[in-house]
Chain A
Amino acid sequence: MKRPEAVHLLAGAAITAIAAALWPGAAGAGPPATAPVAGATTPAAEAVFPVTVASGDGSVTIPARPVRILCLSASATQMLYALGAGPQVVGVDEYSTWPANAPRTKFTGAETSAEDYLPLRPDLVIVAFRSGSVIQQLQKLDIPALLLAPATTFANVDSQLAELAAATGHRAAVSTVEATIKTDITAALDKAGNAGRGQTYYIEVDPTYYTATSKTFIGSEFSLFGMRDIADPAGRLSTYPQISAEYILKANPDYVFLADTVCCQQEPVSFARRPGFNALRAVRLRHVIGVNDSVASQWGPHTIETFVALLAGTLRP
């Protein structure tokens, strides 16, 4: 992770810790989320507890069916509700915006003390990244903590669904949820036809030209449509590299997606006004699309469904 190291030189250690934890990609520093579900090898009887599931932090044993889940990952929240584990959830982080009725808290997942979570009396805590030693603290409190690092592929999504289902006692629902995702994707691909094939795109994560390569989860969503990421040549060291305006102009993408509409108030009009950008094909064809920032950093079923539908509605032959 280059950027956290870099900021260490320039900013305080406190900023570094938070940034390293929250920066997209940096959070993926943990082991990939593709580890098999240990519980999946046992007979598929529902509610077999205790159950041991693979966590990004090793494996975690959940002694009984959790009924007070604290979910500090917006994508995992979407998965829990899709699986039918919603009634077991007592708290979600402030970025879990779907479903709207999820019990949102002020937590960000960047808390540094497990004590913060105790008033909710959780019996399972789900996190997307390590924040200080919170996971170890939770272990000392005998509260299982499940680390589901950011997915980078659809296979990651499937394995995280299976792990969450095993951990919450909803194994039977996995195939239904996966089928729904597949149906959504198939419908979107049918609608788009060949419109995306070979088309290039630039996804802007931040107006200083930080972007995402096809090796990220959002990149894999574009890949479904046969689209090509102009940032891939910049992805040797980071899947969220910074590129330059000059390179964007040279690559001249067919489509531009602005995933910095919330953080940085970017919009197609402001994008087109940047020096030299009125020459871009995407600007001339009005193929600059503002999207919610969260599409670049979330991998839940709802985000997937929304984004592939948006892509299908956007791509034109």
Chain B
Amino acid sequence: MTLTADPRTGNRPAPALLDFDDTGPPPLQPTRLPAVHVLVGAGFLLVAATVSILVGPAGLPAGAVLAEVVGRIPLVHLHSGLSATGVVVVWQFRMPRMVLGCLVGAMLAIAGASYQGAFSNPLADPYLLGVASGAGLGATLVVVGAPFIGQIPSGLLPVAAFAGAVLAVAATFALGRSRASERSAASLLLAGVAVAAFFTAVQTFLLQQSSPGQLTTVYSWILGGLATAGWSQVELVLPYVGVATLVLLACRRLLDVMSVGDEEAASVGVRAQRVRIVVIVAATLGTAAAVSVSGLIGFVGIIVPHTIRLLAGPSYRRILPLSVLFGAGFLVLADLLARTVLSPAEIPLGVVTAFLGAPFFLVVLRQARRVG
């Protein structure tokens, strides 16, 4: 499998490749990730993470919480003075919730960005090829099937959601590839639409047959959220999100090359279809793991990458790493709002991401147009 591009080509900004045929071998124009971008992203994430650890309905003193967290750093000796309950709140509730928010947000954002690159489609999002409908069907099957199977281990819902998501994308891929003559991005997209419609139909049918209690369970999963986040969920998704993120980051130069089209990419030795497969597999596994514990959180995979694109330029060498940082920070902030605006009541996280994200994105879009 050829996954390495000509290093010189790979270093060029994507738009410049448009005139590749006219200008011959591209001059060396590095589109490196400016350190200031990384610093801003890391700062944003750090602030979001810190605030989310400090704030919560238990009303713990911020200083004590900070001391509790900093005190765990080796060689730092700080006594927080938190009660046993306070320690549980910080380490069993707020910390895993924040970490899970980071993982899910980072995964959805980088998966969205990667899909957009792989399909050269600005509307692509992590749920494009059926992840959401597959995960939804998996979760529904477990809940609706519970009375027939008897006692169901509580950890089965995320596993079923994950399996459903992977199965749906596998089906999309098999169907999209079946026309050997045309293994294009377009046929994959269409197969994804068909698979998603089919899975959603089955899910809707099952829900319509289910009891109000089962409906409630599926429903609260679909709405998405981190209300029940714990370290076990973090352990569950960390390997997938970690590996998927690394693989996608490794593909960032190839995505830049592919942004000029499959044939042009082929002319510099990039086999677009193979890159697309790697990107799809990585993004799917990561997204499936994320939604299996968080439910369907919308718009992150669209809004975060596009906001970065508008502010930092179209190169995936910038978009992908920044998506990780800003996606994580964005979701942690959204979750902070989800649990504080009506505290002690929670708002579904998917509502917050869309409610905040959509207007914010429109503002960025308008600003970018004005500047452009």
Seen from chain A, the residues whose Cβ lies within 8 Å of a Cβ on chain B are 2-3, 6-7, 9-12, 14-15, 18-19, 22-24, 94-95, 108, 110, 205-210, 231, 233-238, 241-247, 249-252, 260, 262-265, 270, 274-276, 279, 293, 297
Residues of chain B within 8 A (CB-CB) of A250 are: 57-59, 85, 89
Residues of chain A within 8 A (CB-CB) of B339 are: 244
Cross-chain pairs A/B with CB under 8 angstroms, 24 sampled: A10-B350, A14-B204, A15-B222, A23-B219, A94-B211, A206-B220, A209-B228, A210-B220, A234-B342, A234-B343, A242-B345, A243-B57, A243-B345, A243-B346, A244-B344, A245-B93, A247-B58, A249-B93, A250-B59, A263-B213, A263-B214, A275-B88, A275-B93, A276-B93
Residues of chain A within 8 A (CB-CB) of B214 are: 263
Verify A6–B351 contact, CB threshold 8 A: yes
Verify B211–A108 contact, CB threshold 8 A: yes
Looking across the interface, which residue of chain B has its beta carbon closest to that of A252?
Answer: B85
Q: Which residues of B144-167 have CB atoms within 8 Å of chain A's CB atoms?
A: 146, 151-152, 154
Residues of chain B within 8 A (CB-CB) of A95 are: 211-212
Verify B208–A18 contact, CB threshold 8 A: yes
Verify B222–A11 contact, CB threshold 8 A: yes
> Within the complex, what minimum Cβ distance (angstroms) separates A251 from chain B?
8
8 Å CB contact of A236 from B215, B342, B346 = B342
Minimum-distance CB pairs A-B, first 7: A263-B213, A234-B345, A241-B345, A276-B88, A247-B344, A250-B58, A247-B57
A206 to B221, CA, bound (A): 11
> Within the complex, what minimum Cβ distance (angstroms) separates A68 from chain B?
26
> Within the complex, what minimum Cβ distance (angstroms) separates A69 from chain B?
22
> Within the complex, what minimum Cβ distance (angstroms) separates B347 from chain A?
8
8 Å CB contact of B56 from A11, A246, A264 = A246
Most buried by B among A12, A237, A270: A12
15 extra A-B contacts, CB within 8 A, seeds A15-B203, A276-B89: A3-B219, A10-B222, A10-B223, A10-B350, A11-B222, A23-B212, A23-B215, A24-B216, A206-B216, A237-B345, A244-B344, A252-B85, A264-B213, A265-B154, A275-B96
8 Å CB contact of A265 from B92, B146, B223 = B146
> Within the complex, what minimum Cβ distance (angstroms) separates A184 from chain B?
26
8 Å CB contact of B216 from A205, A236, A249, A276 = A205
> Within the complex, what minimum Cβ distance (angstroms) separates A204 from chain B?
12
Residues of chain B within 8 A (CB-CB) of A208 are: 220-221, 225, 227-228
Residues of chain B within 8 A (CB-CB) of A24 are: 212, 216
Q: Does B296 contact A (CB under 8 A)?
A: yes
Residues of chain A within 8 A (CB-CB) of B220 are: 206, 208, 210, 242
8 Å CB contact of B93 from A9, A94, A108, A246 = A246
A262 to B312, CA, bound (A): 51
Do A6 and B223 contact each other (CB < 8 Å), given the known contacts A18-B215, A263-B214? Answer: yes
Looking across the interface, which residue of chain A has its beta carbon closest to that of B157?
Answer: A264
> Interface extent on B, as a size class?
35 or more
> Within the complex, what minimum Cβ distance (angstroms) separates A262 from chain B?
6
Seen from chain B, the residues whose Cβ lies within 8 Å of a Cβ on chain A are 56-59, 84-85, 88-89, 92-94, 96, 136, 143, 146, 151-152, 154, 200, 203-204, 207-208, 211-217, 219-225, 227-228, 230-231, 296, 298, 339, 342-348, 350-351, 354
Verify A245–B345 contact, CB threshold 8 A: no
Verify A3–B215 contact, CB threshold 8 A: no
Looking across the interface, which residue of chain B has its beta carbon closest to that of A19?
Answer: B219
Residues of chain A within 8 A (CB-CB) of B92 are: 275-276
Do A9 and B298 contact each other (CB < 8 Å), given the known contacts A22-B212, A244-B344? Answer: yes
Most buried by A among B152, B211, B225, B354: B211
Verify A245–B227 contact, CB threshold 8 A: yes
A297 to B212, CA, bound (A): 10
> Within the complex, what minimum Cβ distance (angstroms) separates B331 from chain A?
15
Verify B345–A235 contact, CB threshold 8 A: yes
Verify B348–A260 contact, CB threshold 8 A: no
Verify B212–A237 contact, CB threshold 8 A: no
A281 to B171, CA, bound (A): 49
Verify B231–A275 contact, CB threshold 8 A: yes
Verify B227–A12 contact, CB threshold 8 A: no
Residues of chain B within 8 A (CB-CB) of A205 are: 216
A6 to B355, CA, bound (A): 10
8 Å CB contact of B89 from A10, A207, A246 = A246
A83 to B339, CA, bound (A): 46
Do A7 and B342 contact each other (CB < 8 Å), given the known contacts A263-B213, A265-B154? Answer: no
Verify A10–B298 contact, CB threshold 8 A: yes
> Within the complex, what minimum Cβ distance (angstroms) separates B8 from chain A?
44
A231 to B57, CA, bound (A): 12
A85 to B217, CA, bound (A): 35
8 Å CB contact of B348 from A6, A14, A270 = A6
Verify B216–A9 contact, CB threshold 8 A: no
A18 to B144, CA, bound (A): 15
Residues of chain A within 8 A (CB-CB) of B347 are: 2, 242
Residues of chain B within 8 A (CB-CB) of A263 are: 143, 146, 211, 213-214, 216-217
Looking across the interface, which residue of chain B has its beta carbon closest to that of A278?
Answer: B88
Most buried by A among B96, B214, B215, B221: B215
Most buried by A among B59, B92, B230, B231: B92
